[in-house]
Amino acid sequence: MKKRLLLIRHAQSQANREGKIQGWLDSPLSEAGHMQARQLSQRLACEFDIAKIFVSPLSRATETATYLGRALDIPLAFDANLKERNPGPLSGLTKQEVKRHFPEVERAWANNLPRPHLTGAETDAEFAARTQLAIDLLLAQTKNASTTAVVSHGGTLNQMLKNWLDIRQVGRLTFSFFNTSLTIVDVYPKFIRLVLLNDTSHLGVTYAQGKPSYPQSRDAR
């Protein structure tokens, strides 16, 4: 019997809008991010029977999950292991600032190489181990044949899939996750199934009486 996990990246934050690396930087949602979070919550409330909501305690994830919790009348369960990877001194910098102050990091990114270790930053092994702790807790607290929502961060969701699929690739992120994207993973006793990846079809859609309404094209008559 399967357990279904809805993996959700937070809505756009102020730092996202400004092009800054976040990590553990606690940036709130932007105005556009609040709109995205509302659209996401309306979709999920319409399409899924969600029993639990686990969330990273960073503001951008918490604010996103709050919309969903209110729509479903479900309390949020916080797990610090769902936080984004800690990039140490890169937090709050733009890519241009990284290139200027940490050229060895920019070269690693450009050539898809392992990132050099920075004081205060999590290593690949530390981040993978922390993410596995989050996975173990999620699965332990998700009942068979039920659905759990997980509101987290792009790097964390990427590492979760890598852990499940035993992908050892280093360098750039293996999977992309846009703001408020939905990824669905069905977890069976002996295998997992990736059902949906990085879907944002709810953005730009309005909901009325529990049903999606798509805007007409300019040529519609």
**Catalytic one among 10, 122, 153, 202?**
10
Q: How far apart are CA 153 and CA 97, in angstroms?
A: 22
- Secondary structure class of 180 (helix, strand, coil): coil
> Hey, how many other C-beta atoms are within 10 angstroms of the C-beta on 213?
10
Amino acid at 146: S
Please list, in sequence order, all residues whose beta carbon lies within 8 angstroms of the beta carbon of residue 62, skipping any fewer than 6 positions away. Answer: 55, 56, 76, 78, 151
Q: At what angle do helices 31-47 and 59-72 cross, to 10 degrees?
A: 40
Q: 206: helix, coil or strand? A: strand
CA distance 217 to 31: 25
Q: Is 84 a catalytic residue?
A: yes
State yes or no: is 10 an active-site residue.
yes
Q: DSSP labels for 54-100?
A: EE-SSHHHHHHHHHHHHHHT--EEE-GGGSPP--GGGTT-BHHHHHH
For residues 53 and 74, is the Cβ–Cβ distance under 8 A?
yes
Residue found by looking up tokens 């798509």 in the block: 214
Q: In the chain, at which residue ranges do the beta strands (DSSP E only) sit?
A: 3-9, 50-55, 76-78, 147-152, 182-187, 192-199, 206-208, 211-213
Residue among 31, 47, 84, 153 flagged as catalytic = 84
Q: Which residues are catalytic?
A: 10, 84
